[in-house]
Structure 1
Amino acid sequence: MAEIVQQRLEDRIPGLEQLERVGLFTKKEVRLVIKKSTALEYKLHRPMLRKEDFITYIEYEIGVLELIKKRRLRIGYNFKKDEIEFPIMSRISSVFRRATAKWKDDLQLWLSHVAFCKKWNMKTQVSKVFLSLLAIHPDKPALWIMAAKCEMEDRNSSESARHLFLRALRFHPKNKKVYLEYFRMELMHAEKLRRQQKELEQAEMAMVSASVINKYANDPLTWDYMAKCELEAGLGAEMGAELQSTKEKASDTVRREERSCLVYEEGLKSLQTGTGCRMLSLLHAYICISVLQSTGDADGATRVAVAATKRFSQSVETWSCSLQTLMELGSANVDELFQEALKHVNPKVTLLTSIGSGAESVVKLHIFSCDQRGLASTVPAVSMEVKKKYLDWSYTTGGYKKARQTFRSLHEHRPFSKEFFLRMIQIEKEQDSLKMSNIRDYYERALREFGSSDEDLWLDYIKEERGPHGQAENSGSIHWRAMKSLEGECVERFVTKYTLLQTGHI
């Protein structure tokens, strides 16, 4: 026995020398470790073995490991682990094996061995311990489940986990818990495969996108497609699983929009802009000015407004919008720009007849600029007024077809005014061949914008359906939707007015 103990103590010497050499232990501490280890080794090799001696030995060795770990963190030394820690871990595992071989029925001892291997990242050893444990205790379903989970979650081995579950089912063919956990494992494996497939597809798309950009860098459609891909990148996941909070959802939307804008900006650097090609349209100028104002870019809005007057020097609407923009920004050049407008646009009676309210707007703007310069409407008001005037102008100059085209081009560009939709409804009703489907479409679009706060819009819609061209049976569903959509006092006002409508008083 003394020879065996002496041999095991000699096996410790290289590791202890390294501990002293690198400064993790002092010479005195090394002597104390040797003294304590000698006493523990003798207890493990006497004829009458006790479980408590094995546990004490293991606890002492684990304590030494923990102390080494703390000392390493304190002095910042992370080398020679294979010469210091690994022999100690191997020795502890060997003592665990001796103990479990002696006391096979002690599950706590087995599970302590498993916990030790997991904590110190001995993954291969964990599998061996479970195999030995299951060979002795195949009648315990919980152990099979624990072993399979360890293979799946700790070692990331779906095949090993499946093999263990199949073996467990041979021993426990009627155990529901084993079936449930096996099914759960297969679902996790399927999700893992789907995730890997998605990552591969994303990587492939990234490669294709890079190839497309390199090959068609001068095509605007390429950059537009790439920007839209960035914008829609998170929509699928968002539809599949709700984000935790409204704040998180908004943050994700902002991130996608920022990435999309970066792609557009990169594309603009690579492409020839429309400025040199004189491709600026009147509608685009209106939209650009409105966006720049809303973002606080006063200089940019001014530049676009002036550029629009040069591009469309005969357009009253252009001069009107440009003048109003300069007033919104408090520019000192309003009078100068108005005088320039009069050189190109003569607001006489003939001009008023041909272009409607456009010239009148110029005159009003002149009054504002000269006498009420401090008065300026908000940017949304500018946008809403321009849309309505543009719709009126389209109908006056191009008839119903042109008005429809203008409405279709504007109905997705917020903000809107209620009058914008009502004007289109009025235009539709003035036609000889009235289409009720179009009127319904206009009302539905208007209600999406103002349905929560405007009871009169719902009542007008109901009146249309009860009219000669509508379907009276639709009134009930519209009434039900109104009650669901309206908020606050609007509900009470709607109920009152609807009752009066039912009784024929309005």
Structure 2
Amino acid sequence: MTEIVDKHVESMLEELEEMQRIKLYTLEEIRAIMVKRKNFEHKINASTKELKSFTDYISYERLLLENIRLRRSKRNINDKKGSIEHKIIRRIKNLYEIAFQRFPDDIPLFLSFLKFCKRINHINAACDVVSNMLKRHSDNPQIWLVAANWHANDRKDVNTAITTLLKAVAVHKDNKTLYSEMIQIELSEATNRNVSTTEEKVTRQKLCVEKLEKIISTIFQNINDCGFHIEILQMLEKFVFTMKVQEMIIEHLLKHNSDDENIWHVLAQRERSDFNMENESNLETITTPRRTPKARLEACFAKYKEGLSKVSPEVKPKLWLLYVDFLFKLQEEGTGAGTVLKLKTLKSALNEMSEEGHLTEKHYILWLKIVDDENETLEIIKRGIRAHPSSVNLWLSRLRYEIEKNDIPSEVDQVFQQSAEALKEKGLPLWSAILRYHYLTSDDKKIEQIYQEGIKQPQEISNTLKPQYLEWLLLKKGISAARKVYKMLSTEKPNCKELHTMMLRLESMQIEFNYKEWTDVHKLACKQFGDKDVDVWINYIEFYLRYHKKNPNIKECVEQIRKQAMETLSNELICLFETKFDIVRASA
């Protein structure tokens, strides 16, 4: 191996001497380059060869090549221009070739070499590698795709690119990406090249249509996926001359997949975009009167309705959703052509969808935003609740409606009771709303009655209302009343940590602190939650360190709390507790 390395290094001497002679690099820099190359040569000629050794060596040489270019430009050095670079390029090419021999299946290496060939314009070398990779990796669609792109974009050889893709789909009959690429190349060939006459343009487009028909027919034979067929249709939409092919796809979709909601959605959107406005029969443009925006909307709505009349009952709700979402989107566009038609069609669709039982909770809420009649609003809310009896938003809308339109509290309470019974543990927003209402309209006795009912509700509601109740009691009746209720509620199951947190805050707000009451809250919080909550212990310790500074036994008390916490907490929480404890003690 040493002999091989020495031989390779020796072959570099002339190149390096030239680099020094024309003052591209100093002697020290030349020596550094030599050391680097020698190390790389040892690695690639070692008994155990790794791909990384080759890629690192290649990367180094490519960076060196770029650095030479920059130095020549900066120092205005033109001597031996091309000679030095040619030797480095040849070395890089040789490194790639050796790497391909050692690692013939590495696709990133293949892609890297193609980029390198493109940069230095070594087309023939790249073509050879592409050919070899296709032979070795015909089972990999990505290789075929890269090869086709290479021919189409880098070599500008569309015919070879298409031939490559035809071979690819013969092997990978169901690969969607290959077909899509083939279509894109054909469209690009028909539209992007400069042509001198209209006749030549028409000829190209005719040929493109003929090829596309064959491709689409092959797709229909090999890929039974209407989603992909729709994707191809939408790819062709911006090319008017492909209308014949588009109609071919639509005919196939309606024949084989007419029960798919997405097909009718796409067809309706085509009406709105007026794809039928212009047609090119035999690629000769036929000018027809343009439809007005309102007429296009009407045709769009009609296509949705046609689909709704033809799809199966299982698919119908999905098409309804696409239709109604589109109608709401139209409303967001604001004023313009067909404004009245849009709103009228939307309301009609919502009403029909509701009657059929397909309208979602979200759409009932959206429906309420586009009506301004009180009776209509109430009717929509009631219909929504019948369809979605556990909807928090709809019940909340019902309660808000009653609050805004009715000045009789008993009737508001009646609606609230209905909502609370229907929503059960999900009803917290309704409890909050009814409390806000009675804060403004009722006396303290009524508010306390609601709180007392609320704290008996499921945990999802009571855990929020219990601490709120304490805070309200403090404001209305003082700390003694709050303590009394706290002591009663704190022992009820399930325990509520938020209740302790609120009581601790209320105790801290007093002008004269009652340390016994305050301490008892901490103790109870630790007793109920100390096995799974680090913070209750940390809060207890911080309380001692802050409010018992004059206690001569404070260190012993804190240590006792720490010891109790260590004995109570689960093993996985002890480390976290110790970390927080050290921080609290250090900042005390």
TM-score range, shorter chain: 0.3 to 0.5
Q: What TM-score, normalized to structure 2?
A: 0.32
Higher relative contact order (CA 8 A, sep 6+): 1
Q: What TM-score, normalized to structure 1?
A: 0.37
